[in-house]
Structure 1
Amino acid sequence: MNAAAQYEARPANPGWLKRAEAWLDERGRPAWIVAMVLGFIVFWPIGLALLAYMIWSKRMFGKSCRSRRNSSANAYRQSFNAARPSGNAAFDAYKMDTLRRLEDEQKSFEEFLQRLREARDKAEFDQFMDERSRAPRETADEDRKEDA
């Protein structure tokens, strides 16, 4: 899914739960803990639900909510900016040519890696077959030596 499609897939007006989650994420783990404690004070199942959600979503024991949100938002913004035209036709043509060349290089590199994997697999298989064919000959040679 490209950046423009991801941007279009986001709802224009997220629900109050998503807005509350984003608000708490902006303030970090202490805000989540305060919300959980307040939930226990108001009505214990709310606090329990918040605790379960914090553990399930790795907000309790994972990285900081704020750093996770900022890193994903920055990655999204950067990928979206790379696809957006700058308004300068010469630069846009250069950028598209460079991106196309990099994609071709990546494709050829992946094909090279695939050929290396196939060569390694073939070498391992040939070694296995040699060892397998060698074992019956060696046992037959030992049997002949014992008979003699």
Structure 2
Amino acid sequence: MNTTALIRPAWTPATIALMVLGFVVFWPLGLAMLAYIIWGDRLDGFKRDVNQATDGFFASCKGRGRHARGRHGGFGRTGNVAFDDWRDAEMTRIEEERRKLDEMREEFDGYLRELRRAKDQEEFDRFMTERKRQRDAGEPRPNEPKSGPTLLDD
């Protein structure tokens, strides 16, 4: 049995004929065939890379969260015990640092909320004292029309 394919990514009579036919029927088909002839030899590596990426993505989707990934955080054992122990210790240290940073961020967010609340309270108190002062002095409020004759009072 012949092990070579009739349509392979090379300049063979069959691929040239398909390319010309593709351009005649619908030009994107001819362009696709030309791309296959030129870059088709890289297709196997591209397919392998895409398959590895999708396999890795769906494997990570299978077990969401740190607990589902197990003790090694999603990484398998390398066979080097010293390296695996060092990596586990580093991952634990990094997770602890992440937890501390998250706590500090929450504290800072709380501080900012309290600061905004205090500023808003100060502005509101200032507005209320100004309003009370204007009422006591008999001054009209900013949105209230001034009393007195107008053009419509004929």
Classify the TM-score, shorter chain: 0.3 to 0.5
Query: Scaled by the length of structure 1, what TM-score is found?
Result: 0.45
Structure with the higher helix share, 1 or 2: 1
Q: Indicate the structure (1 or 2) with the bigger Cα radius of gyration.
A: 2
Query: Scaled by the length of structure 2, what TM-score is found?
Result: 0.44
